Structure 1
Amino acid sequence: MELSYRWVIVAAGALMSCVAIGTMFSLAIFLEPMAIDTQWSRAGISSAMTLNFLVMGLGGFAWGALSDRFGARIVVATGAVLLGLALVVASRAGSLLTFQISYGVLVGLAASAFFAPMIALTTAWFDTNRGLAVSLVSAGMGVAPMTISPFARWLISAYEWRTAMFDIGIMAWVLLLPAVLLVRQPPKPAVAGGASAPVAEGTGMSVAQALRSPQFIVLGLTFFACCAAHSGPIFHMVSYAMLCGVAPMAAVTIYSVEGLAGLGGRLLYGVLADRLGVKPVLIAGLVVQAIVIAAYLSVSQLDQFYVLAVIFGATYGGVMPLYAVLAREYFGQRILGTVFGAATMLSSLGMALGPLAGGMVFDAYASYHWLFIGSALIGLGAAGIAIAFPPLPRRQLQLA
């Protein structure tokens, strides 16, 4: 029973990541109707997404530390209540500043309560197939563009953006609060004589030592650059496609195709990482990501967008869970929530760059070309940094 329950943890984590990230990224769907209705600038609205990621980074570190101390359930329960409340409040914002605070700060704080705690909890439940399990939890993010985004677009078309955002807030409560009840800590492992097991290099480290280690520095910088590279293209993809002449609803489907491909990419990269090793799979994925971002500059037709969306979605979706697996291998389970929360904080700073930079680029040049050029260069930089990862620890503890 205990062995099979670990897949319930995976399912709960996938649902939570889908709802949390899906509601947050749905701002990309709200961007156009909000700008038309309120006359707020695209940069101003997009800055709420930047605040999302800044707050999400700080929150991820804090929530991760709290989950190490108190367990994941209380953390994700708090996040579930706050997420629905934040969306309801944001839907009633009467000024850009109010919207930026309610959506940018509160939604980011709430969304950060799920990823690091549930990833850390999942790694604690799995000794084998850990890469696949973490990828499945992260796959909820890939499902989000296929579910939350089209649902948001349909609500906006049927009603208007405020009603749509309010309804999504209520939906978040309905889905997340029951899922919280499924979250529990793994059973204590039994120690068997004569066994051998891999030992994480950082198991004996304190948090301070871990955060100053070369392993964490490379992990954090790679995670930052990776997210800085893909955040802008992801967030502004719908608007970019519409500028290229793609119809609004069809443009949203590009985002959905990315999400579907990301789901498959997470499974593929998770299996490859278990078989070939995390580091080479990560580096290859980062190189492909950079190439595909640059390729968007040469497309204008819907079918061309679809082709690149499959590759782009599979790549950025596939590499994201690998950072958690690396953190678990380097630092062990005891401080994983805190360490991965700190890495997530750096990644969130990278995610914060793209939406704001894209909005500023568009407001200045009425074009997204420089966004894609800069993002591709940053993506290549991420691959270069990842090459400096130290070898993964594979020491064996032999028990007499």
Structure 2
Amino acid sequence: MMTPAAIAELRSGWRILVACALGIAASAIALPYYSIGALTKPIALETGWSRTDIQFAIAFSSGLGALTAPVTGWLVDHFGVRRVALPGFAGVALGMMIAAMAGSTLVFYLGFALTALLGAGTNPVVWSKVVTSRFDHARGAALGLALVGTALSAILLPLLITMLIERTNWHVALAAVAMLPLVLSLPVAWLWLPSEPVRPSLAPAQPTVSIRSAVLSLRFVVLAISILSGYLAVSGVLTSLVPAFTDRGLSPARAAVIAGTVGLAMIPGRVLIGILIDRYWAPAVGCVILLIPAVACLVLVRATDSLNLTLCCLALGLAAGAELDLLAFLTARYFGRARFSKLYGLLYACLAVGSATAPAMFSRLREVSGDYTASFVSSAALFAVAGITLLLLGPYPSISGPSAKGSHSDAD
């Protein structure tokens, strides 16, 4: 159970959590990523583009997101969350709208690239900064609740896109997706996000470690390897689900519904993970959680019936996005909050590289091998590496001083 102090933090900060959840749901990382799977086959059928060509668009959105993440961290520290996020939503909408109007792969890629560049103010660096600065006793649970926005995208986007394509075409479907940041996230962010640069809610001893020494430390390297492996696995398997299921004979609508259960399971999964890492050693929790999708991926190699496919998706959903929650929590726990935005931005770049390269890589594997077996086996191995590597982080650093006892204060 959560402590009274943790419950009080969540009650007082619920508006910020809602704004963060809706913000990441319509962010430059979530909208392209959770849209591309349902769009792949319809676009390929209409245009003749290969699946690899279509999913390569993620390399532009997530890849450029890797380059912008450290800059976004600096902007948040100096200008505040709201001033960075609001123009970011407009940028996401513009980029996705250009992709929706594309008649060539060049324009399609340009739209995804602009989504990342102009929408950089919506990436997880922003939302994690708000939560880690505002919450201390319930930091893990708050991160889980805030980042549950990705679950909303995972559930709703495949269904929305499939429904609109059946009635119109993929251009209209993607244009509808492009409007979500403006009608869903921007108004709430305007009302409930802090306008000034956010500062830690408590005043414990802050870390004195420099950016250079942190980046050169073993812990930073371990986190980077785990994040890269985890997101290669996540991005590879989740963007493959809808096309893989339709290849096995399911209708597009049925495939979208089953794949959407990933997002359904992400909601309780993220909250549970957040509560667990508040109470127990987070690397061990992360290791166990990341081994669950490893097993699910191996089952997906042979599963064809709806029940087994759904169970695998639920298992994936329990852990999908765990690396994002863990990254924010572990960055604050091992390196402190004074330099959180910059260090998180650098580590997030590893996540974005995995997210950028995996969809096209796994789609290419499918084209070479003829099915998704190699893709699912590769994801299983990468999930295992991501989980086991976390155990090398070692115990939390200790803090001397009166504020350290009984709290999640930042470590030196």
Is the pair's TM-score, using the shorter chain for normalization, greater than 0.5? Answer: yes
Gapped regions of structure 2 (runs ≥ 5): 1-7, 404-412
Trace 1:140-151 onto structure 2 (pairs within 5 A). Answer: 140-151=149-160
Paired amino acid for 2:348: T
1:169 aligns to what? 178
2:372 corresponds, among 365, 368, 375, to 368
Q: Distance in 1 between matches of 2:272 and 2:357?
A: 28
Aligned pairs, number: 390
Trace 1:69-80 onto structure 2 (pairs within 5 A). Answer: 69-80=78-89
1:16 aligns to what? 23
Q: Distance in 2 between matches of 1:113 and 1:319?
A: 20
Answering whether residue 132 of structure 2 is matched by residue 123 of structure 1, we say: yes
Q: Which moved more, 1:34-43 or 1:166-175?
A: 166-175
2:355 corresponds, among 351, 354, 370, to 351
Contact 1:294 1:372 (8 Å CA) reproduced? yes
Instruction: Please report how far the alpha carbon of residue 90 of structure 1 lies from its aligned counterpart in structure 2 after TM superposition.
Output: 1.0
Q: Distance in 1 between matches of 2:317 and 2:57?
A: 23
Instruction: Please report how far the alpha carbon of residue 127 of structure 1 lies from its aligned counterpart in structure 2 after TM superposition.
Output: 1.5
1:239 aligns to what? 243
Q: Distance in 2 between matches of 1:257 and 1:315?
A: 12
Paired amino acid for 2:295: I
Contact 1:64 1:341 (8 Å CA) reproduced? yes
Q: Say which SS state the counterpart of residue 304 (structure 2) adopts.
A: coil
1:194 aligns to what? none
2:117 aligns to what? 109
Q: Distance in 2 between matches of 1:180 and 1:148?
A: 21
Instruction: Please report how far the alpha carbon of residue 370 of structure 1 lies from its aligned counterpart in structure 2 after TM superposition.
Output: 0.8
1:337 aligns to what? 341
Partner deviation per Cα, 1:311-369 (whole Å, 9 max, x = no partner): 11102234430111000111222211111111111011112232011221122232111
Q: Distance in 1 between matches of 2:98 and 2:199?
A: 39
1:32 aligns to what? 41
Instruction: Please report how far the alpha carbon of residue 10 of structure 1 lies from its aligned counterpart in structure 2 after TM superposition.
Output: 0.9
1:326 aligns to what? 330
Trace 1:1-400 onto structure 2 (pairs within 5 A). Answer: 4-20=11-27, 21-24=29-32, 25-103=34-112, 105-110=113-118, 112-114=120-122, 115-181=124-190, 182-184=192-194, 185=196, 186=198, 199=205, 203-398=207-402
Instruction: Please report how far the alpha carbon of residue 111 of structure 1 lies from its aligned counterpart in structure 2 after TM superposition.
Output: 5.1
Q: Distance in 1 between matches of 2:284 and 2:386?
A: 13
Q: Distance in 2 between matches of 1:147 and 1:232?
A: 20
Report the aligned-residue RMSD.
Answer: 2.0
Instruction: Please report how far the alpha carbon of residue 3 of structure 1 lies from its aligned counterpart in structure 2 after TM superposition.
Output: 8.1
Q: Say which SS state the counterpart of residue 121 (structure 2) adopts.
A: coil
Q: Say which SS state the counterpart of residue 152 (structure 2) adopts.
A: helix
Contact 1:86 1:107 (8 Å CA) reproduced? yes
- In the superposition, the TM-score normalised over structure 2's length comes to 0.90
Instruction: Please report how far the alpha carbon of residue 190 of structure 1 lies from its aligned counterpart in structure 2 after TM superposition.
Output: 7.1
Q: Distance in 1 between matches of 2:358 and 2:180?
A: 28
**1:278–1:35 CA distance, 2 compared to 1 (3 A):** same
Partner deviation per Cα, 1:182-237 (whole Å, 9 max, x = no partner): 2105577576xxxxx5x56xx21222222222221111111111111121110010
Paired amino acid for 2:114: L
Q: Say which SS state the counterpart of residue 171 (structure 1) adopts.
A: helix
**1:277–1:112 CA distance, 2 compared to 1 (3 A):** farther
Paired amino acid for 1:392: Y
Q: Distance in 1 between matches of 2:120 and 2:287?
A: 26
Paired amino acid for 2:121: A
Instruction: Please report how far the alpha carbon of residue 112 of structure 1 lies from its aligned counterpart in structure 2 after TM superposition.
Output: 4.2
**1:226–1:111 CA distance, 2 compared to 1 (3 A):** farther
Contact 1:73 1:180 (8 Å CA) reproduced? yes
Q: Distance in 1 between matches of 2:337 and 2:114?
A: 29
Paired amino acid for 1:73: R
Instruction: Please report how far the alpha carbon of residue 2 of structure 1 lies from its aligned counterpart in structure 2 after TM superposition.
Output: 9.6
Q: Distance in 1 between matches of 2:200 and 2:36?
A: 41
Instruction: Please report how far the alpha carbon of residue 253 of structure 1 lies from its aligned counterpart in structure 2 after TM superposition.
Output: 0.9
Q: Distance in 2 between matches of 1:100 and 1:358?
A: 18
Contact 2:136 2:202 (8 Å CA) reproduced? no
Q: Distance in 2 between matches of 1:19 and 1:344?
A: 18
**1:208–1:171 CA distance, 2 compared to 1 (3 A):** same
